[in-house]
Amino acid sequence: MNEILYAGLAVLSVMSILLVWLTVDHIKLKRNYRALAEHLNNHNLDIVGLCSASVGVDNRLAETAELLKELTEKINDFEQREEEAKPYHAIIQKVRSGADAAELIQKFGISRDEAVLLIRLHGAR
Q: What is the pLDDT of residues 23-76, one digit of tens each?
A: 999 999 999 999 999 999 999 999 999 999 999 999 999 999 999 999 999 999
**Sign of the alpha-carbon torsion through 98, 100, 104, 107:** negative
What is the value of pTM for the model shown?
A: 0.46
Ordered alpha helix ranges (H), the chain: 2-85, 89-96, 101-108, 112-122
pLDDT given at position 85: 65
**Under 8 Å between Cβ of 110 and 120:** no
CA angle 58, 59, 65 (to 5 degrees): 85
